[in-house]
């Protein structure tokens, strides 16, 4: 009877653990999903095991129920060890062919479950001890041995790569299985397999699957990612600053040369050089850094979702094959680049390879460097692709000839488009075709740098941000618009004190872009006195969008209070007086956001 209390105690404990797991907020992962199934299976196994005590003792009265219960218990054992094996395969450092292993283990489980049902089973009961034995039980013990051997081989193979907390459950299950096997051999009436599995489940909870610990770990991972992204962004902005600073310095030097007579440098040369430098400054400022001109309506999209990291790796492999030993090839891709993009994968690869192949052709020794950076606006991604080499370079006329190409791809070009790399003239046409832009900096005998900018849509990645939604529990989401940076910050702080999720901007056009691209808000707070686009003008533009129905509160200075009804008549749901900001924001929050 004492052994029954062991099952009952384990059942109470595991049900309590199950409730705790399902009640707590957690980050959904495959490992956690498998762990939850393992707990549920263990609860079912304990219930079946308790049922078996009754059915074996009363098998003459309930033969069919006894047959089903005892066979289901053996099948449960097989299910649990199969599930645990797949769980272990999931947390190994190198997860390879998991779909294959899932299919293999599923097939293995189904076939052996049928075999267990078909094999004979005998029962023993003396009024005190009850247990089953026979071919079905022996066959299951044999399968346990196979799985234990697999776990042992996995443990040995990955021992150095596994952390201590991942080793403990695996070692424990191997040891407890051996102990359980010995106990069952000499005392078959003591059913301890399921309680052992309860202990393993609890060890997994303590070491790996505790939701609180996993949440903290994910926060640490997220912090590391953000820090790395900030580092990439800082490096990129520093590089772009240098891109602007150098041509400004060049222009300053060139203007000083105008007053100095030099038989080697003509005025025409100076003017051309100044034009080249100003064109480069304009390109960096307007085409690279100005994300306000990203517009989904201007992007030529092809129905293809692709992995930019994989594209980057493919290009690097091709370059390693083609580049000579005298050239050092360097390649870097920003950590901020989204995993999946939506656009013309083939043409993007063709553009990058064409420029790289041009660099290889014109660089006998030195270096070639590929850098991919991004600027992101909502669900749009601006790829900034730069290729720099230390080759023979080009003169200003050659650069201008390429950059002034604005013709579409012509019929005679079609035959060349099958090649992965094309000449720079056709590459420029392809860039024009996909809605991108290019600039070239080059000095004869010193080298060339190409900068290509192409806007792509960020593909819908279902995993993106889902992990962190539970961490940001907010009541409402507000879009705050004010072109006075000091007031904007003050307004934002007051809203956040009320546990409001605040997205702020200084531009009315930015508001229109956010709504057009599908962002949703519970309320918009809109300053009326904005210089580029007033609050009223922004509201009028928003109302032109299809299905726009977000309530808007207009923010007014004290001198406009006398015409407040004018704004209400135009369609604003309320007004906010900025001279009494804290009280007014609290009023708006309590009225519309609680």
Question: H or E stretch including 33?
Answer: helix 30-57
Q: Which of 503, 444, 494 is nearest to 472 (CA)?
A: 503
Distance in angstroms (rounded) separating the CA atoms of residues 299 and 278: 27
Quickly tell me which residue has 């009961």 as its tokens.
Answer: 125
Q: Select from 3.30.479.10, 2.40.30.10, 3.40.640.10, 3.30.565.10 the CATH code of 293-458.
A: 3.30.565.10
CATH superfamily of 472-592: Response regulator (3.40.50.2300)
Distance in angstroms (rounded) separating the CA atoms of residues 529 and 576: 13
Distance in angstroms (rounded) separating the CA atoms of residues 166 and 155: 10
- H-assigned helices in 369-442: 396-403, 424-433
CB atoms within 10 A of CB 186: 7
Question: H or E stretch including 100?
Answer: helix 98-118
Q: How far is CA 158 from CA 92, 93, 152, 257, 470, in A?
A: 8, 8, 10, 68, 33
CB atoms within 10 A of CB 126: 8
- How is 516-576 classified by DSSP, letter by letter? HTT---SEEEEES--SSS-HHHHHHHHTTSTT----EEEEE-GGGGGGHHHHHHHT-SEEE
Q: Which of 249, 285, 287, 308 is nearest to 456 (CA)?
A: 308
CB 448 within 8 A of CB 402: no
The pLDDT tens digits of the residues spanning 527-540 come to 988 877 888 899 99
Beta bridge mates, 450: 387, 440
The most distant pair of C-alpha atoms in the chain lies apart, rounded to whole Å, by 118
CA angle, corner 139, sides to 136 and 143, nearest 5?
135
Distance in angstroms (rounded) separating the CA atoms of residues 317 and 334: 18
DSSP 410: P
Distance in angstroms (rounded) separating the CA atoms of residues 284 and 241: 9
Q: Select from 1.10.287, 1.20.1260, 2.60.40, 3.40.1360 the CATH code of 213-289.
A: 1.10.287
CB 576 within 8 A of CB 525: yes
The pLDDT tens digits of the residues spanning 394-428 come to 888 888 888 888 777 666 665 555 565 678 888 88
Verdict on whether the full-model pTM lies above 0.75:
no
Q: Going residue by residue through the chain (594 aa), what tens digit of pLDDT does each one get?
A: 446 788 888 889 889 888 888 777 666 677 788 888 999 999 999 999 888 888 887 888 888 998 899 899 999 999 999 999 998 888 777 655 788 888 999 999 999 999 998 999 888 777 666 778 889 988 998 898 889 888 888 888 888 877 777 788 888 888 887 787 777 767 777 777 888 888 888 888 887 777 666 666 666 665 665 566 566 666 667 677 777 877 888 888 777 777 665 655 677 777 877 877 787 787 777 766 766 665 555 545 456 788 888 888 888 888 888 888 889 998 888 888 888 888 888 888 889 999 999 999 999 899 999 999 888 877 788 898 999 999 999 888 888 888 888 777 666 665 555 565 678 888 888 888 888 888 888 888 899 999 998 888 888 654 444 434 433 444 688 999 988 877 888 888 889 888 888 888 888 888 888 888 778 889 999 998 887 788 889 999 898 888 788 999 999 988 888 888 888 988 899 999 988 889 999 999 999 887
Question: H or E stretch including 133?
Answer: strand 130-133
Q: Which of 215, 94, 85 is nearest to 162 (CA)?
A: 94
Q: How far is CA 369 from CA 20, 243, 329, 335, 428, in A?
A: 53, 16, 6, 17, 20
DSSP 593: T
CB 161 within 8 A of CB 132: no
Extents of the domains making up the chain: 2-209, 213-289, 293-458, 472-592
Q: How far is CA 207 from CA 25, 49, 170, 203, 215, in A?
A: 18, 27, 11, 6, 14
Beta bridge mates, 376: 381
Q: Which of 176, 166, 174, 167 is nearest to 199 (CA)?
A: 176
CA 176, 179, 181, 187 torsion-angle sign: negative
Note the CATH architecture for domain 2-209: Up-down Bundle (1.20)
């Amino acid at each position: 009877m004492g052994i029954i209390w062991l099952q009952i105690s384990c059942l109470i404990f595991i049900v309590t653990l199950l409730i705790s797991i399902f009640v707590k907020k957690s980050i959904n992962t495959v490992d956690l999903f498998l762990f939850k199934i393992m707990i549920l299976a263990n609860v079912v196994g304990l219930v079946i095991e308790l049922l078996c005590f009754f059915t074996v003792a009363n098998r003459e009265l309930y033969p069919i129920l006894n047959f089903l219960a005892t066979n289901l218990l053996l099948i449960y054992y097989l299910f649990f060890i199969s599930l645990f094996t797949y769980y272990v395969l999931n947390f190994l450092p190198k997860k390879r062919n998991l779909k294959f292993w899932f299919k293999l283990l599923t097939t293995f489980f189904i076939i052996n479950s049928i075999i267990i049902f078909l094999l004979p089973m005998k029962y023993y009961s003396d009024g005190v001890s009850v247990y089953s034995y026979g071919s079905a039980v022996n066959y299951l013990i044999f399968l346990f041995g196979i799985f234990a051997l697999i776990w042992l081989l996995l443990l040995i193979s990955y021992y150095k790569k596994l952390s201590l907390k991942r080793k403990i459950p695996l070692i424990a299950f191997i040891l407890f299985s051996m102990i359980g096997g010995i106990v069952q051999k000499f005392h078959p009436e003591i059913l301890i397999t399921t309680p052992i599995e309860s202990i393993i489940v609890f060890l997994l909870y303590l070491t790996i699957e505790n939701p609180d610990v996993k949440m903290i770990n994910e926060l640490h991972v997220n912090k590391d990612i953000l820090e790395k992204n900030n580092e990439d962004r800082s490096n990129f902005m520093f590089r772009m600053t240098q891109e602007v600073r150098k041509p400004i310095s060049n222009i300053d030097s060139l203007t000083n040369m105008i007053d100095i007579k030099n038989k080697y440098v003509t005025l025409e040369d100076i003017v051309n050089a100044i034009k080249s430098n100003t064109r480069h400054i304009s390109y960096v400022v307007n085409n690279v850094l100005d994300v306000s001109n990203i517009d989904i309506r201007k992007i030529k999209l092809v129905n293809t979702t692709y992995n930019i990291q994989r594209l980057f790796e493919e290009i690097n492999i091709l370059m390693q094959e083609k580049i000579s030993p005298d050239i050092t090839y360097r390649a870097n891709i920003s950590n901020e680049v989204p995993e999946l993009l939506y656009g013309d994968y083939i043409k993007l690869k063709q553009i990058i390879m064409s420029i790289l192949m041009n660099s290889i052709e014109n660089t006998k020794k030195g270096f070639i460097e590929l850098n991919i950076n991004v600027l992101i606006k909502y669900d749009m991604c601006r790829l900034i692709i730069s290729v720099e080499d230390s080759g023979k370079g080009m003169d200003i006329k050659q650069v201008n000839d390429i950059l002034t190409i604005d013709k579409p791809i012509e019929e005679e070009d079609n035959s060349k488009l099958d090649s992965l790399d094309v000449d720079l003239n056709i590459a420029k046409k392809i860039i024009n075709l996909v809605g991108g832009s290019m600039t070239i900096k080059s000095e004869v005998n010193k080298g060339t740098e190409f900068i290509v900018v192409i806007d792509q849509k960020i593909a819908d990645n279902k995993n993106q941000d889902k992990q962190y939604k539970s961490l940001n529990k907010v009541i409402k989401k507000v879009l705050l618009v004010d072109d006075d940076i000091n007031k904007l910050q003050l307004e934002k702080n007051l809203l956040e004190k009320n546990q409001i999720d605040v997205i702020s901007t200084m531009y009315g056009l930015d508001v229109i872009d956010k709504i057009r691209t599908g962002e949703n808000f519970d309320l918009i707070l809109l300053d009326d006195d904005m210089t580029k686009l007033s609050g009223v003008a922004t509201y009028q533009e928003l109302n032109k969008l299809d299905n726009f129905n977000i309530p808007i509160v207009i923010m007014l200075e004290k001198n406009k209070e006398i015409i407040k009804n004018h704004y209400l008549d135009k369609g604003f749901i309320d007004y906010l007086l900025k001279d009494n900001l804290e009280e007014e924001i609290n009023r708006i929050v309590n009225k519309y956001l609680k």
